[in-house]
Amino acid sequence: MATEQLTSGAGLYGRFVIFIAGLGGLLYGIDVGIIAAALLYLSKTVNLNLAQTSLIVAAVLGGSMVSSPVAGVLADWCGRKKIMIVSGSMFVASVVLIVISQGFTSLFLGRLLQGMSGGVIAVVVPLYLAESLGANRRGQGTAVFQFMLTFGIALAAFIGFFYTRQAEATIAHAAGNLELIRAAQNHAWRGMFLAVIYPGLLFFAGAFFLTESPRWLMRRGRREEALRALRRSASEQDAELALQEMASAPDQSREGKAAARDAGSLLKKKYVLPFILACIVLAFNQATGINSVLGFLVVILRQAGMTATHATQGDVVVKLLNCVMTLVAVALVEKKGRTFLLKIGTAGIVLSLLAGGFVFLSFESQRVDVKSRIQAAETGNHLTIPVNETTLGPSPQKQAMVLTVLYSYGDGDHIATVLNDSRDAALDIQPDAKSQHAPLTIERAFYGPVPAERTGWLITICLAIFIASYAVGPGVVVWLALSELMPMRIRSVGMGIALLLNQGVSTLIAAVFLPAVGNYGYFSMFFFWAGCTVIYFITAAFFLPETKGKTLEEIEMYFE
């Protein structure tokens, strides 16, 4: 009876560990996904230019880029459990800072802190799982973490849809009352961020009830504590056996020091080639545009002609598909192989991005440059111009038209859009208090047809195919490729450099997204991502070795 109780308790604790790890994956997914719907209202209540808005999105990726390389070092120094507690507190603090923000600086710092918490979670939680769970549960724990990451992105989309529907209903009943409209918009984006604090609090509190990693304790010479930690997740007999295996593990420090002196060997093909391949895979994994698509999805669908409510519905559909296809990919990766899934996935990404780019080009190419007419309407430091056929020209086939103006008051680009949906429709650009004496500059001004609602659904279909292709191929294979390609000699340093490159590319693309589409159109980014993914496909098809069913030693021998 006592043995059964111990086994039952160990099983219960193992499930608790996996639950906390799942919450960690959920928080990382929320970090990436929550901004998509919030962008609908954020710039309407906080004075942000296009570059600042892009930086707010990119800050999470930049924070992750900063924290990921040092998270492992801190976990080795302080212990896995303590760093998990710290990451939970960072997430909760970031939400509080974002919700009370009134300007760009505090918003940026809040998002940066949110990204740093995600970067720490992405390193430390899988590390803790690998060291704390037995071999029979390690795969289950990692699978739960990966799935909950994609579920976190989908949950953020659901939260965005809920608050968007509330806000749009309030705006519809406001009857043009600007104060009520602004209050609804302000409540919407702050409510979205505040809603995600609850899983953060649960992760933070739950981490206190975890034991420290037994392998970390053993390396620190704390044998009795390691044994107590093992007893919580295994039977007495298994715990003793695991402790003996840890104690008998060979000390490789002398071999490592000897190898370090042989610096020339690092230039061998078996080290350089897999390192370069891993860097190419991780860099172009982000050059597909995945994080920008996830972060700006609602904005993209709005630009394609959807209403705010329908855009957030499309956001939910695409991100739920991401969850489903991740499960499919996990089931296929050991059956079909890494390179097969990468080739299928990258080919699907290229086709979907090209299709989406041509859909955007079909109506963005009809825009007429009206910069000179807008500049002629400037009086002093502001301008007001009616938006109709008399001032801007007739609309083809009597379509609804939209005026899009990119302008600045010396503090970065802003964008204004006006529909000619009423007789008194007009563009009105006025400086705020900080820009009273700065000159008004009209960068670009286009007048063109408003895309139909069906165009938005076409773009949704293209992005659904994009996300399904990404989830089946690059989404699941990239992390396997990173860990399997790197030889043991350079694995820790090589993985750190490749991950830094991965996050750096992602941050850069997200930071330039809004300025780029404001200047050149959305089709330009779609075509750029497609071109990068072609290089990714060529790498997967002709240069990447298949690693399915091979030991790490066999893979290393391949590059000899």
Rounded mean pLDDT for each run of 10 residues along the chain, 560 residues in total: 45 82 90 87 86 88 84 82 94 96 94 92 79 60 75 91 92 88 94 95 94 81 77 68 62 42 53 81 90 88 87 90 86 79 94 96 88 86 84 75 84 78 78 76 86 90 95 79 64 65 85 85 95 94 77 64
Phi then psi for residue 447, to 5 deg, are -125, 120
Classify each residue of 391-416 as buried b or exposed e, where b means 16 or more C-beta atoms within 10 Å of its C-beta: bbeebeeeeebbbbbbbbbeeebbbe
Q: Which tokens go with 495?
A: 């993985």
Q: How long, in residues, is the chain?
A: 560
Domain 269-366+451-560 of CATH type 1.20.1250.20: yes
Q: Which one of 1.20.1250.20, 3.40.50.10470, 3.40.50.720, 3.40.50.1820 gives the CATH number of domain 1-210? A: 1.20.1250.20
Burial class (CB within 10 angstroms; exposed 0-12, middle 13-18, buried 19+) of 102: exposed
Alpha-carbon gap, residue 313 to 504, rounded angstroms: 30
Contacts of 165 (CB under 8 A, 6+ apart): 309, 312
- Side chain identity at residue 466, one-letter code: F
Q: Tell me, what's the pLDDT at 488? A: 57
- Per DSSP, the three-state class of 407 is strand
Res 366: pLDDT: 86
Q: Is the dihedral of CA 186, 187, 190, 193 positive or negative?
A: negative
Instruction: Give the dihedral of Cα atoms 147, 152, 153, 156; nearest 10 deg.
Output: 160
The CB-based long-range contact list for 222-227 (8 Å cut-off, 24+ gap) reads: 223/247
Tell how many helices (H) and how many strands (E) occur in the chain: 23, 7
pLDDT score, position 449: 86
**Hey, how many other C-beta atoms are within 10 angstroms of the C-beta on 384?**
12
Contacts of 235 (CB under 8 A, 6+ apart): 3, 6, 7, 10
Asked whether the beta carbons of 299 and 39 are under 8 A apart, the reply is yes
Q: Give the start-end residues of each E strand in 409-530.
A: 413-419, 426-429, 441-449
| The model scores a pTM over 0.75 | no
Phi, psi of 271 (to 5 degrees): -100, -45
Q: Rounded CA gap, 463 and 552, in Å? A: 36
CA gap 86, 329 in Å, rounded: 32
The span from the CA of 2 to the CA of 10, in Å, is 12
- Return the structure tokens found at 370: 């009206």
